[in-house]
Structure 1
């Protein structure tokens, strides 16, 4: 099996909207992705969703793309739901993060829920806080450093 990778890095200027992919290296600070509405001093600085989860939602009359579920990082080849809170991930050679939340409550203003009638992010998305800042980009390898905080 191939290594897990970053499929897309996505941002939005406002909360509650789809995110759009950004090109090239993206700076991750200790507050999250620069220019993203969800960056800040809290436990959900970054959101991750698997491309496999997006693919399951296809066929509702829309062609869904990375960022449509408001995730910052679209992954491929990593079963995010097996990563307990406290898991440390590394993306590329520098950026590290800690999983802080699995899933979420879907807010009533969810743009995708309005269009499709369902949203996969509350069930299959995860959230993380940044430990080590740096840059990431499409194609970067994602490494599980430890699961649930155990080396």
Structure 2
């Protein structure tokens, strides 16, 4: 059973690219991160709202693995938790390798269900030139790999802090790989 730790938590009430780090965040069942611009039952991402504002919000919580920050730092990028818009920065969990429907038990109460991959956008290059390409890769077969984190929905409310443990609960078989949401 995989387990990890929360390295940092971040929130922004406006649609900013980066989210400031905070002492704790409150995850609200069915809504997302309290006070975050992406909180709600329907989509809040501006490009998705423009297409259909009634779509369910499968992007309530954005998680990035700190190991990505390590990889990017080695490639010359200077990134800290929250700067790519994530709400929770993790360490010790292969977020990108989780199947759809995996549940992350975070801290004492919160549960987040993984819905899919974050699709990196050009805003990354506005932040640091070349960052979009740096969070994309190819596997041996030439398939695109999106490394910019995963998205999830909150199933059980709870307070989340840096240092909280994260326990992974896999869904029943068969597992379905993550697709972009």
Tell whether the structures are fold-level matches, with TM greater than 0.5: yes
Root-mean-square deviation over aligned CA pairs? 2.1
Judging changes above 3 Å, is the alpha-carbon distance between structure 1 residues 61 and 145 closer, same or farther for their aligned structure 2 residues?
A: closer
Equivalent pair of 2:11/2:25 in contact (CA under 8 Å): no
Equivalent pair of 1:60/1:116 in contact (CA under 8 Å): no
Q: Which 4+ residue blocks in structure 1 deviate beyond 4 angstroms?
A: 59-62
Equivalent pair of 1:85/1:102 in contact (CA under 8 Å): no
Name the count of aligned residue pairs. Answer: 144
Q: Give 1 or 2 for the bigger CA radius of gyration.
A: 2
Aligned residue in 2 for 1:99: 114
Show structure 2 runs of 5+ residues with no match.
42-56, 137-144, 174-181
Describe the superposition over 1:71-101 as per-residue Cα deviations: whole angstroms up to 9, x where unpaired.
1100001111110111111001210111111
Aligned residue in 1 for 2:44: none
Q: Tell me the TM-score normalised to structure 1 length.
A: 0.85
Describe the superposition over 1:38-93 as per-residue Cα deviations: whole angstroms up to 9, x where unpaired.
11111110011000001111256653100111111000011111101111110012
Q: Tell me the TM-score normalised to structure 2 length.
A: 0.72
Q: For residue 56 of structure 1, give the secondary structure of its aligned residue in structure 2.
A: helix
Instruction: Give distance in 2, aligned partners of 1:68 and 1:26.
Output: 16
